[in-house]
Amino acid sequence: MVYLTRLEHFNAAHKLYNPGWDADKNEQVFGKCANENWHGHNYELFVTVKGQPKPDTGFVFDVKQLSLLIKQHVIEKVDHMNLNMDVEFMKGRICSTENLAIGIWNELITHLPDGVKMHCIKLYETPRIYVEYFGED
Amino acid sequence: MSKKVAVFRREHFNAAHRLFNPGWDDATNEKVFGKCARPHYHGHNYELEVKVTGKPDKRTGYVMDMKSLGDLVKREIHSRFDHKNLNLDTKEFKNLNPTAENIVVVIYDLLRPHIDKKMDLQIRLYETPRNFVEYPV
């Protein structure tokens, strides 16, 4: 099994906010991340897939194809967007980095060809904060 | 020592913004600023490099105490802009388009009065890891 990673990036506005709580409680839990007029980040996205290199190409997956998949199914939906307001797959979810990584996994996984499995979504929110999601099992 | 030395301090903040000229209609803003003009804002992790140049003080050996420079940047810049919407939450950009160029000049003007006149000040501001500006030049 070989693991292949493609790095893409996007930037977006968001806030951390639980609509079931009042403003005070949101401020208490999320601090300045709950700022009502949003703040934003440069996100760095590492998508890792795994599989056996194909005998005819030597590739696990054509990395250009992987890049196009990420751009089409993720970057176009999130880049220069407001994650809370503009992104369909985050509707009804708190826009934490954790939930965003899960959302990105779910957007991509159905588009991978046979023999190529999703391994990890690694998502940097800042140069100092990142999450990794390896799926449910 | 009578030779000039430059000292640098790095700080960072993150914020939401949009690029928008209120004197233009939406179509013109979209044409000029592209996805940066989107109405619900987007955001960045801004990385700031503050450069102070001068002759080290004979008694301390310092051009400027780095800790006090760090505290100054936190007080004047970080507390104003971190986790804010530059367009909506800051008085500096109420009537000024928050491009990286304009932000770097604003930061310079906020810091300059607090730094010894004998020292030169230069600011480099990264809007993304690939886009950055400098002032003065």
Note if B83 is an active site residue.
Answer: yes
Rounded to the nearest angstrom, the minimum Cα separation between B123 and chain A is 20
pLDDT of residue B48: 97
pLDDT of residue A68: 98
Across all residues in chain A, what is the average pLDDT? Answer: 97
Residue ranges of chain A whose CB lies within 8 Å of a chain B CB: 9, 11-14, 32-33, 35, 37-42, 79-82, 85-86, 126-127
Rounded to the nearest angstrom, the minimum Cα separation between A107 and chain B is 21
Q: Hunting for tokens 């939450």 — which residue is that?
A: B89
Question: Which chain A residues touch B47 with a CB distance below 8 Å?
Answer: 127
CATH level 2 (architecture), domain A2-133 = 2-Layer Sandwich (3.30)
Rounded to the nearest angstrom, the minimum Cα separation between A19 and chain B is 18
B40 and A86: CB-CB below 8 Å? yes
Across all residues in chain B, what is the average pLDDT? Answer: 97
A13 and B14: CB-CB below 8 Å? no
pLDDT of residue B127: 97
**Is B1's pLDDT higher than 80?**
no
How confident is the model over B99-115, as a mean pLDDT?
98
Enumerate domains of chain B plus CATH numbers.
5-135 (3.30.479.10)
Note if B44 is an active site residue.
Answer: no
Task: List, for residues B23-78, the tens digit of each pLDDT value.
Answer: 999 999 999 999 999 999 999 999 999 999 999 999 999 999 999 999 999 999 99
Mutation site for B-interface testing, chosen from A8, A33, A36, A38 by largest number of B Cβ within 10 Å: A38
- The pTM is what? 0.92
The span from the CA of A61 to the CA of A22, in Å, is 47
How confident is the model over B79-107, as a mean pLDDT?
98
The CA-based dihedral angle spanning residues B30, B33, B36, B40, taken in that order and rounded to the nearest 10 degrees: -40
Question: Which chain A residues touch B15 with a CB distance below 8 Å?
Answer: 39-40
Task: List, for residues A8-29, the tens digit of each pLDDT value.
Answer: 999 999 999 999 999 999 999 9
Task: List, for residues A57-112, the tens digit of each pLDDT value.
Answer: 999 999 999 999 999 999 999 999 999 999 999 999 999 999 999 999 999 999 99
How confident is the model over A50-57, as a mean pLDDT?
96
**Is A137's pLDDT higher than 90?**
no
Question: Which chain B residues touch A40 with a CB distance below 8 Å?
Answer: 14-17, 41-44
pLDDT band, very low/low/confident/very high, at B2 (cuts 50, 70, 90)? confident
